[in-house]
Amino acid sequence: MRVAQRRRWLPAVVMVGGAALSLPPLRPLIEQSMVWHMLVQMPLLVLGGWLVAGHWWARQAPALLERFNRFGLTGFIVTTLIAGYWMIPSSIDRAVVMPATDMAKIITLWLCGAALRHSMQRAPLLVQLFFVGYTLPMTVWLGLYYATTDLRLCNAYSLESQFAAGKGLVVLGCAAGAVWLASLWQRQSQTAR
Amino acid sequence: MDKSSSPSLDRTDPAAGLLPTFAACLIALVVGFGFVYSATDRGRAFTTENLRRSEVARQPVSIPDFTVFDASGGKQSLRDLLTHGNRVWIVDFVYTRCQTVCSSLGTIYQQLQSEIVARGLQGRVGLLSISFDPANDRPASLRDYALRMRMHPEAWRIVSLDQTQDRRRLLDTFGIMVVPAPLGEFEHNAALHIIDREARLVRIVDTTEPGAALELALSR
């Protein structure tokens, strides 16, 4: 009973927690550190969307979405485009400086997580592999670039912050890959039984 | 894995049910790339700095009027300073307490100054350093800085804002973002700003190309 209750509010907490980082008491965290912005807030927002979508669509996702997201194709494309947009240095700067852009970031990253969940639920292994095989190396490559370039890419963050964020992105990319492989292994051992 | 699927279509022709999906994918791609395209100046500028530079090259920015004071304490309007003498200016932003990055910018300006003096271009091009730390950079600090940098006033001047509250608007006009760094220092996007005779910011040149900046200034 307690587990089920915790499961019910956890998605909302994660979702709102991610958004709360953009608001006054916590905002200086993301304004001063690229690590907090890119590696804490953004993944939290995506995770929030993922969990809420999983919760709302636990039994049956709306049939309309199903028509437009066969094999999870559309969802993966949407996820990649949204995540890619928010990795562009000028977008990150804009989100720090302009509240309207920050709001757009929060909403689109929530949608990104939801789209990812919907697609992961229905994509065959091959489609998942294409998606993961594209986005994770892209994330790791971007992280390596951020960690090694002398050029300060974001006007809003120091070079130190950029280096740390880059290293963190590499770790995040590898960790996400490991989680995905683990989920495949788990599914494999379940079907084997 | 829950593979929910539209009931009748799959049994006859699996591909038929994919049309809405493909259409949605195509729309997502077009919309997504459209956003990226417009946000990056047609795919050419991924950093705010590059965006700022290409925007200025397209559309000159008029410099607002601020009251500034120089190393001698004398106050004047920034626009008057820029338009007087019919010179083109190369402007950079500094703070006199800087120990680190600014020293390279200072060296660049010293080189520019030598070139200007050697070629007798003082009447055509001027170098101007503007302090973005008006709270700390009062006339005495400006004087020290001018001595340290061996400034020749007819070629290279330094000014500071009279009203601290003008700082925000000045930095916004030029597109400079200041980030606090350890030990009371600042990190900021440094560049060479070309101001024409009508006090308009017309080009922003990278600090690695002072020669190009000088030629640009002379050609105006």
**Nearest chain A CA: its distance from B197 CA (Å):** 29
**Nearest chain A CA: its distance from B18 CA (Å):** 6
Query: For residue A55, what pLDDT band results from cuts at 50, 70 and 90?
Result: confident
Tell me which of B179, B186, B189 to substitute to probe the interface with A (most A C-beta atoms closer than 10 Å). Answer: B179
Query: For residue B12, what pLDDT band results from cuts at 50, 70 and 90?
Result: low
Tell me the DSSP string of A38-55: IIIIHHHHHHHHHHHHHH
* Of B177 and B15, more confident: B177
Instruction: Compute the mean pLDDT over every residue in chain A, rounded to the nearest whole number.
Output: 91
How does pLDDT run across B68-126, given as a tens digit for each residue? Answer: 999 888 999 999 999 988 999 999 999 888 876 677 888 999 999 999 999 999 999 99
Residues in chain B with CB shorter than 8 Å from the CB of A153 are 46-47
Average pLDDT over residues B125-147: 91
Residues in chain A with CB shorter than 8 Å from the CB of B17 are 67, 70
d(CA A141, CA B107): 35
In this structure, the number of other CB atoms found within 10 A of the CB of residue B70 comes to: 19
**Nearest chain B CA: its distance from A171 CA (Å):** 23
Residues 45-84, chain A: which have Cβ within 8 Å of B? Answer: 60-61, 63, 66-71, 73-74, 77-78, 81-82, 84
End-to-end C-alpha distance for chain B, whole angstroms:
67
d(CA A143, CA B13): 43
In this structure, the number of other CB atoms found within 10 A of the CB of residue B89 comes to: 22
How does pLDDT run across A68-103, given as a tens digit for each residue? Answer: 998 999 999 999 999 999 999 999 999 999 999 999
**Nearest chain B CA: its distance from A159 CA (Å):** 9
Angle (nearest 5°) at CA A33 between A19 and A80: 60
**% of chain B surpassing 70 pLDDT:** 91
Q: Is B9 exposed, middle or buried (0-12, 13-18, 19+ CB in 10 A)?
A: middle
Query: For residue A135, what pLDDT band results from cuts at 50, 70 and 90?
Result: very high
The answer to whether the CB atoms of A73 and B3 lie below 8 A apart is no
pLDDT of residue B9: 47
Q: Does B16 contact chain A (CB < 8 Å)?
A: no
d(CA A173, CA A141): 9
pLDDT of residue B14: 61
Query: For residue B26, what pLDDT band results from cuts at 50, 70 and 90?
Result: very high
The structure tokens listed for A169 are 């992105």
Tell me the DSSP string of B94-157: E-TT--SHHHHHHHHHHHHHHHHHHTT-TTTEEEEEEES-TTT--HHHHHHHHHHTT--TTTEE
- The SS3 call for residue A171 is helix
Q: How far is CA B57 from CA A2, B51, B53, B61, B208, in A?
A: 62, 10, 6, 9, 18
Q: How far is CA B22 from CA A63, A76, B16, B18, B106, in A?
A: 17, 12, 11, 6, 57
Q: How far is CA A87 from CA A26, A142, A147, in A?
A: 21, 8, 14
pLDDT of residue A9: 84
d(CA B138, CA B122): 26
- The SS3 call for residue B60 is coil
Residues in chain A with CB shorter than 8 Å from the CB of B189 are 152, 155
Half-sphere CA count of A80, side-chain side, radius 13 A: 21
pLDDT of residue A8: 76
The answer to whether the CB atoms of A70 and B29 lie below 8 A apart is no
d(CA B193, CA A74): 45
How does pLDDT run across A158-188, given as a tens digit for each residue? Answer: 999 999 999 999 999 999 999 999 998 988 8
Tell me which of B27, B40, B49, B171 to substitute to probe the interface with A (most A C-beta atoms closer than 10 Å). Answer: B49
Instruction: Compute the mean pLDDT over every residue in chain B, rounded to the nearest whole number.
Output: 89
The structure tokens listed for A191 are 């079907």
Residues in chain A with CB shorter than 8 Å from the CB of B177 are 93, 97, 155-156
Going by their DSSP bridges, the two strands B67-70 and B75-77 should be labelled as antiparallel
Of A68, A121, A159, the CB nearest to B1: A121
Chain B residue at shortest CA distance from A70: B21
Q: Does B55 contact chain A (CB < 8 Å)?
A: no
Query: For residue A3, what pLDDT band results from cuts at 50, 70 and 90?
Result: low
| Model confidence at B187: pLDDT above 90 | no
